[in-house]
Chains A and B, each alone.
Chain A
Amino acid sequence: MSVLVIAEHDGKQLKPGTTNTVTAAAKIGGDITVLVAGHQCAEAAQAAAKVAGVKKVLLADAPQYAGAVAENMAALVLTIAGQYGHILAPATGFGKNFMPRVAALLDVQQISDISAVVSADTFVRPVYAGNAMATVQSADKVKVITVRATGFDVAAEGGSAAVENLAAAPDTGLSKFNGQELSKSDRPELTAARIIVSGGRGMQSRENFKILEALADKLGAAVGASRAAVDSGFVPNDYQVGQTGKIVAPELYIAVGISGAIQHLAGMKDSKVIIAINKDPEAPIFAVANYWLVEDLFKAVPELTQAL
């Protein structure tokens, strides 16, 4: 039995989440093959070859894989799907986009967002924004799975897998990739950061987020946000943590001016240590916090930055 892991990468490096997916594959058992599909991405294939536990890397390098457009990604995976008992990808915007296509074309029910492997056919996945954990068993011949990175460790380095070329599938021509606008930041990526400082509606403005950024920079942290902060235009949409944003589980999560709606908690309540700063003594965020401070954030945050 072999497991196929589809890597998310930027052409040079693997994105956070991919090696956690390799760890999930290792728990299932069997030889692990990693597929690196993209345009001019040979370097990323070399990176995948170094991940411990990976037996083989398939490199599909062609213009139609730029941007990992769903229709073409699914068509490519279909050319090799028959060789694997399990097909895994990270449950990020990347994996969620094309994996259900793969599943539908194989006539299997995808298992979304698994947080634990019980056995080769049984998995745990959060439902209802993480308010319940379902253990599900699949009867399908191939298991198509997306993996919640926070449920699995980052895989170590130390592998030396062979890299083979995989022929591209014909371009489906269904959609045209016109490019991406990526927000630039010198701070760590949210899903890979050891510490996250997140702000909510309580921040009041884009301008005020600077005091959080100062704290983040002192800690070497990433900056996140609640949906209310994103919707109010304080920060870009890719900062959003929650049920419909990013799922994070850093060592330390500092929630500032965030009330703690279930949809926000869904994205961060598996963090190791949670701190909440809120002026409302009844804020629901306190229920998941290890330490909480009832204070005006405009006083507490600069003080905290100063004290560190």
Chain B
Amino acid sequence: MKVLVTVKRVIDPYVKVRVKSDGTGVETANVKMAMNPFCEIAVEQAVRMKEAGIVTEIVAVSVGVPQCQETLRTAMAMGADRGILVETTAEVQPLGVAKLVKAIIDKEQPKLVIMGKQAIDDDSNQCGQMVSALLGWPQSAFTSAIAVNGDSADVTREIDGGLEKLTIKLPAVVTTDLRLNEPRYVTLPNIMKAKKKPLEVIKPEALGVDVAPRLKTLKVEEPPKRSAGVKVADVAELVAKLKNEARVI
């Protein structure tokens, strides 16, 4: 079966982001970018399913600036067969991304769509559920295990109190939790091979999708700073501070 995975280009998760002084957003100039970690897990899952003989083709999709081609090349170095970039320099919010991804799915007809549960820049946690709703397909959000059985899949989801098990009909949309797998590192030979894989670039207009933002960002600020704390010498001092100063115990 064919699988479609989505990959978002985000600020590297280990970079300390800085809010711009004019309050319009965060600093992205000369900042290290990377594939969203949950998307890496999505690609890894698809590649493992291909290695297991369940999946025949993996199509990776990204929405954004021309540099997202690098993110798609990374996905292809991990094992995706081809890439599609919906190229735009405009801001596309999760509903817009979901509509674009749906339009690609309509063309590609995959049997399974694997997306990250959350993009670590906007922290929206929406796109996968939205794509699934727009298609009228089942969803499994925050998935930590997938077993495909013919026309359905048994999935395990991470929920607040533990785990949940569902059987979903295929085609379906799955979003990845951290514990689904540990993504592989890309190797140099695979990076070289990925350069030769097909990468198609499309514009949102060509898909007939209106992606005008619905949310206007009025300002972006630093979170409130915590006041500086104090170092205590030992447990006795700690207990004294807790009882007499903080009064929390």
Of A101, A130, A219, A292, the contact of B133 (CB 8 Å cutoff): A101
Give the tally of cross-chain contacts (CB within 8 A): 246
A243 contacts B213, C-beta separation under 8 Å: no
- Where chain A touches its partner, the secondary structure class is mixed
Residue of A nearest to B124 (CB): A112
A178 and B120 in contact, given A109-B93, A269-B226 (Cβ under 8 angstroms): no
- Determine, out of B50-58, B65-73, B137-145, B197-205, the stretch whose residues face the partner at the interface: B137-145
A179 contacts B164, C-beta separation under 8 Å: yes
List residues of chain B with CB within 8 A of the CB of A191. 160
Give the one of A104, A137, A274, A292 with max B CB within 10 A. Answer: A104
Give the shortest distance, in Å, between B113 (CB) and chain A (any CB): 14
List residues of chain B with CB within 8 A of the CB of A303. 235
Encode B198-238 as 1/0 by CB contact (under 8 A) with A.
00000000000000011111111111001001111011101
A175 contacts B168, C-beta separation under 8 Å: yes
- Determine, out of A28-36, A49-57, A230-238, the stretch whose residues face the partner at the interface: A230-238
Residue of A nearest to B169 (CB): A174
B126 contacts A133, C-beta separation under 8 Å: no
A176 and B215 in contact, given A100-B126, A101-B130, A112-B124 (Cβ under 8 angstroms): no
Q: Would you call A286 an interface residue if the criterion is a C-beta within 8 Å of the partner chain's C-beta atoms?
A: yes
List residues of chain A with CB within 8 A of the CB of B235. 293, 295, 300, 303-304, 307
Q: How large is the interface on A (under 10, 10 to 19, 20 to 34, 35 or more residues)?
A: 35 or more
B239 contacts A308, C-beta separation under 8 Å: yes
A291 contacts B246, C-beta separation under 8 Å: yes
Q: In the complex the two chains form, what is the Cα distance from A77 to B177 in whole Å?
A: 26
Encode A106-137 as 1/0 by CB contact (under 8 A) with B.
01111111000000001000111111111111
A108 contacts B166, C-beta separation under 8 Å: no
> Would you give 8 A-B contacts (Cβ < 8 Å), ordered by A?
A70-B141, A127-B220, A135-B218, A139-B214, A176-B167, A269-B226, A290-B226, A304-B238
Show the binding face of B for A, using Cβ within 8 Å. 11, 13-14, 16-17, 19, 26, 93-95, 98, 117-118, 120-134, 137-142, 144, 154, 158-169, 172, 177-179, 213-223, 226, 229-232, 234-236, 238-239, 241-242, 246, 248-249
Show the binding face of A for B, using Cβ within 8 Å. 67, 69-71, 74, 92-94, 96-105, 107-113, 122, 126-140, 174-183, 191, 195, 219, 227, 230-231, 236-238, 243-244, 246, 251-252, 262-263, 269, 272-275, 286-295, 300, 303-304, 307-308
Closest 4 interchain pairs by CB?
Answer: A109-B214, A100-B129, A104-B130, A174-B138
